Amino acid sequence: MKTLIWDLDGTLVDSYERITKVTQEVLKPYRAFTIEEIHNKVIETSVVSFVTNQAEDLGLDINELFIHYKALTDQIAASDYKLIENAKEVLKHYLDLGCKHYIYTHRGLSTYDILEAHGIREWFVDILTSDDGLKRKPDPDALNYLIEKYSLDKEETYYIGDRSLDVLCGKAAGLKTVYIGKDKTIDADVVVSEINHIKRYISF
């Protein structure tokens, strides 16, 4: 039985435009960044890492920056986060084949609201977010937790994401990895440019 563990932002949900704009707004009083610059940094690491590094470099209070960040993101309705094109169809395709879906994301509890807004919350056996207190990617802590809790077969389990961070995390847990994106240098078991192409490589 194949198991698919999904990242959320950039993988299932088209959220980077909103994330980068909020990050730009939070940092604007202290340092100017273009949307492209922020996007590249977020893809490379994460919003938390990027903002933390800027706060340390500028001698700012990290907590105050993240309070501001959260206040702005809380104003974004869950329904405003659109699913990646074909994401719902791909999820349904594998559900119909008996596949089990899970999520491991750095996003917090808003993950549940977004999934509910798109009517797919119940499609996932379990959802791990930053609020679960597990170590952040690329540490495999969260994936190891799922593997142990649900006795997942590593040879039949894939971690799917849109960043090298996701691939490193999946590899560290001993899972098969899928990278969705344009970077041809990323060494994953499956590399595709669009989510619907996964069906060419993961079959039953």
Predicted pLDDT at 204:
75
CA distance 64 to 62: 5
Predicted pLDDT at 158:
98
Domains recognised in the chain with CATH numbers: 3-14+80-200 (3.40.50.1000), 16-78 (1.10.150)
Query: pLDDT confidence of 1, banded at 50, 70, 90?
Result: confident
- Is 87:12 a contact under the CB 8 Å cutoff? yes
Q: How many CB atoms lie within 10 A of CB 188?
A: 23
Query: pLDDT confidence of 203, banded at 50, 70, 90?
Result: confident
Distance spanning both ends of the chain, measured CA to CA: 8
Whether the per-residue pLDDT at 95 is higher than 80: the answer is yes
The arithmetic mean of pLDDT across residues 116-131, rounded, is 97
> CB-based contacts of 30: which residues, under 8 Å, 6+ apart?
54, 58, 60
The arithmetic mean of pLDDT across residues 138-148, rounded, is 98
Predicted pLDDT at 83:
98
Threshold 0.95, pTM exceeds: no
Whether the per-residue pLDDT at 67 is higher than 90: the answer is yes
pLDDT tens, residue by residue, 128-141: 999 999 999 999 99
